[in-house]
Amino acid sequence: MGIMRTKSIEQSIKDTEEPEFKLNKSLGPLDLTVFGIGVIIGTGLFVLTGEAAAGYAGPAIALSYVVAGLACALAALCYAEFASTVPVAGSAYTFSYAALGEFVAWLIGWDLILEFTLGAATVAKGWSGYFVNVFELLGIAVPPQLYASAEGGISHDWMAVLVILGMTVILVIGIKLSSQFNQVVTAIKILVTLFIIGFGVWFIDAANLSPFIPAPAPGDDAYGSALDAYLLPSILGIDTIYGVTGIFTGAALVFFAYIGFDIVATTSEEARNPQRDIPIGIFASLGICTVLYILASVVFTGLRPYQELGTAAPAATALEATPFPAAQLVVSLAILIGLTVVVMILILGQSRVAFAMSRDSLLPPWLARVHPSFRTPYRITIITGVAASVLAFFLPLTTLGELVNIGTLAAFVLVSLGVLVLRRTQPDLPRAFRTPLVPWVPIAAVALCLFVMGFLTIGTWIRFLGWMALGVVFYFAYSRGHSRLGRTQAAEGPTEGS
């Protein structure tokens, strides 16, 4: 009954049927695909693409998206096997509990709390930037007291707080309402992305795309301390931006653009036919978005010199190069609406992970109670919304984005390892979807994700490890002694896998 005790898949599924914890099964493959696309296309494409192109990769930001997309595709193959085998809320947390043991499951759940909560705050910051941009295009100046104005320091972003709290209310009301709202807004977001590509391609200046991979240049020392240096390049003695190094550094930053298909896995318990629908949602959303990202990033850097794209609203900045000023307003307004949904889905993902952890009593069980009318985990949803609001109000965009990325990549690593472990420990377990080429695909996923993590800053690594250390303390101080599985095993005696 140690910290490596595992929770059987059968028990995980049985827990979902308890009345006080039961969620509505209302999502089909279209809902899940739209949920994935709805969160994938967002701040990563419409905000961080500009920063990554201007500061690190130049036009080769398109190759950064290829690298990040490949890492996601490999991890997605592993996610799909787990999600179709363990159709329970909680995503990587639940999978790890079955394959790697309670302590590892706790760590990954703690990691996902960081990923989704900070993710919602990050997207809200991008939303705020486009909100200000829309009003500026209309000739209305938004008072600077209402939005972030600090460069790299503490901000004060009331606009970000507003959108987070609004989406929290929608999620409390109900998952199906959330899904219907998401379908409408995601359709708008896909249309605007296609518009940027189809409209912008006619105004590309080929000179802006040459050289496609800018020559390496010395890194900018203006960012100050050693904490701002990138881990792997520092170890290798590389102090440059652009070039090949810039492609991978750009990939580490825009990796944020791909978080979303793992959100699909968090809704397994609310899918009507999770064994079939979850893999469809994962692969469809990831494939569609990868193609759109590559094309859109080429258009962005083709319309304007990449050095000019490091703005709060790079899509609007790129479209300034066209002879139709109205396109800026239409696109910025549509992006603003689209980012609204991303905030909502990230809060959804966090609430479902914490819901699963609370149901297992690794977090206080009262957090997992569902609303008697709406049948949603309203308590943890409200707490998540408030926490994300505070983070969005105070922290700058890049700091938030990099922390989300390292948390996401760490989750991908553990899920990929979990596939290898579960294949060995439970080889006969029914699997609606099987990851191909095991063990090579999971090993490649782990290696590529760790490699991309190496191109995040030392400060990001320190903050991430500090958060995980806090999680270890919480586990031994509270979760280990309150574990529902641990208490059950203590009462009934050790069971297989404990």
Give the tens place of pLDDT for each residue, 198-237.
999 999 999 999 999 998 887 654 445 677 788 888 888 8
pLDDT of residue 407: 86
In the chain (498 residues long), the average pLDDT of successive 10-residue segments reads 68 59 64 77 81 91 93 87 68 74 89 86 86 86 70 70 91 67 77 90 93 83 64 83 89 83 67 76 87 93 92 86 84 83 82 84 86 81 92 78 85 88 83 86 95 90 93 94 86 56
pLDDT of residue 223: 45
Token pair for residue 298? 């080429």
pLDDT of residue 184: 79
Angle at 156 between CA 150 and CA 160, to 5 degrees: 110
pLDDT of residue 429: 77
pLDDT of residue 355: 84
The reported pTM is 0.80
Closest CA to 314 of 119, 121, 45, 65: 45
Tell how far CA 495 is from the center of its chain. 36
pLDDT of residue 188: 84
pLDDT of residue 464: 92
In 157-224, alpha helices (H): 158-173, 175-200
Residue pair 417/100 in contact (Cβ under 8 Å)? The answer is yes
Residues 6+ apart with CB under 8 A from 421: 99, 100
The third-level CATH classification (topology) of the domain covering 9-492 is Amino acid/polyamine transporter I (1.20.1740)
The per-residue pLDDT for range 386-406, each reduced to its tens digit, is: 999 998 888 777 777 788 889
pLDDT of residue 150: 45
Residue pair 180/341 in contact (Cβ under 8 Å)? The answer is no
Per-domain residue ranges of the chain: 9-492
